[in-house]
Amino acid sequence: MADTSLLFLVLILLPPLALLLTLTILVRPRPVKIPIKGRHVFITGGSSGIGLALAHQAASEGARVSILARKADKLEEARNSIRLSTGIDVAVFSVDVRDSDAVQRAIDEADPIDILICNQGVFIPQELELQSLETVKFMIDVNLMGTFHLIKSALPNMKNRGDRRPASIAIMSSQAGQVGIYGYTAYSASKFGLRGLGEALQQEVIADNIHVSLIFPPDTETPGFLEETKTRPLLTSIIAASSGAMKADEVAKKALDGIKSGRFIVPCNLDGFLLSIATAGLSPQRSPLMAFIEVVSAGALRIGALFFQWNWYGSIARWHAQKTSAAGIGGIFRRRDGTINWSFSGLIGIASSTKAEIMSALTGIRIARDLSYQNIIIKRDSANTIKWLADPGSGPWALAHFLAEARDILSNLNAQLGWIPRELNSDADGLAKAGAHRDFLFSDSFLPT
């Protein structure tokens, strides 16, 4: 009996062990460690957000750091911040990455580069039909062509460097560079392009002991992201909300760890890890264990990906059905005298969706802030929404960033929150009976003029 059990165990373990052994032989490039202490790390987009966090962390680990960005005043602020926190001075270069000649001059002026981190990026969300070609070109020029300018300028000296230890070219992409998202057509195109650049470039520079890393952060709490959330389409917010947002320091740590280990694909959170497996394709893989996980989980993750697509396309269909049927307006502000101050398209068709509830409420709250409203009342027929807006720490973790933003705005608006029975949330008379006539009102329902 014992011999039978042992044989059965061997038969179970043999196939996965054989696969792991095979993958250990197959994976290319081979594993590598890239030291940064005492080496020159050149970071673009280094005056704020992820770039500044990377500069802080690299300097604290003993690297010689240079940062490049457009605005000289922001660069000086960043330099002072790094000096204050680490005691290390950094070189700064005020350059627009769209200007290839200016990029070349900055690279030539800087010390020889050991680790180049192409972190610059802009994102302006909007449906392609509504977005100007000038805006599309701007994103592609900064995100994609700017990266070409940097690598093209730095590559000759990196190949001829005296220090023959492993070097790195790291490229900051985005989870929108792994999967297309509504409203990110141009942005996703500029970020998807970086993957093709990285995969081909790795083959060209591997003989020079230069290792390419592609970093795929989720939404990150940076000045640019906070501005972007104010303008992106509501449907974009609903689809993208499931990923949640990270802090810049957290992304920087994940990115720097990935660079030092020479990983080609560097995810930054669980969603990114799953995306990296689901989209592995023909990308390089240094880790036999990760290759094993990619192989055995590919089918299950494909099913998960199809579920997400089902969910997203369902939201899109309901959105368009709502627009077509003109069932109502998602949010509206009305003065006490009855005149309408502001309204915006809503999501009555998916009002039961948690994400839709929160994003609809947040959109109205942002409008109130942008129009400098005070003393507003927010009446919702979702008790959970009111609870989550009122109580810090409550609500779904995936929407924590959006709830925190809503609470912060509400604290400055002298806002009052209240629940309204769904049967009353259908017309102006019902809302009035619920006590919703103060200076300004935000509701989930259509209010006739």
| Residue numbers annotated as active site | 173, 187, 191
Contact (CB, 8 A) for 172 and 48:
no
What is the spatial distance between Cα 151 and Cα 380, in angstroms, rounded to a whole number? 52
What is the spatial distance between Cα 412 and Cα 79, in angstroms, rounded to a whole number? 32
What is the spatial distance between Cα 396 and Cα 149, in angstroms, rounded to a whole number? 42
CB atoms near residue 8 (< 10 Å): 10
For the chain, the maximum distance between any two Cα atoms, rounded to a whole number of angstroms, is 88
* Residue 58 token pair: 């690299």
CB atoms near residue 344 (< 10 Å): 15
How would you class 424 by CB atoms within 10 Å of its CB: exposed for 0-12, middle for 13-18, buried for 19 or more? Answer: middle
Contact (CB, 8 A) for 23 and 288:
yes
Dihedral pair phi/psi, residue 362, rounded to 5°:
-65, -40
Query: Tokens 């947002």 sit at which residue?
Result: 245
Among the listed residues 370, 365, 367, 371, the one whose alpha carbon sits nearest the alpha carbon of residue 385: 365
Provide CB contacts within 8 A for 281, sequence distance 6+: none
Query: Tokens 């502001």 sit at which residue?
Result: 342
What is the spatial distance between Cα 93 and Cα 40, in angstroms, rounded to a whole number? 14
Contacts 24+ apart (CB under 8 A), 99-106: 99/149, 100/149, 100/152, 100/153, 103/146, 103/149, 103/150, 103/153, 104/149, 104/153, 106/68, 106/153
Among the listed residues 446, 436, 328, the one whose alpha carbon sits nearest the alpha carbon of residue 379: 436
What is the spatial distance between Cα 447 and Cα 425, in angstroms, rounded to a whole number? 10
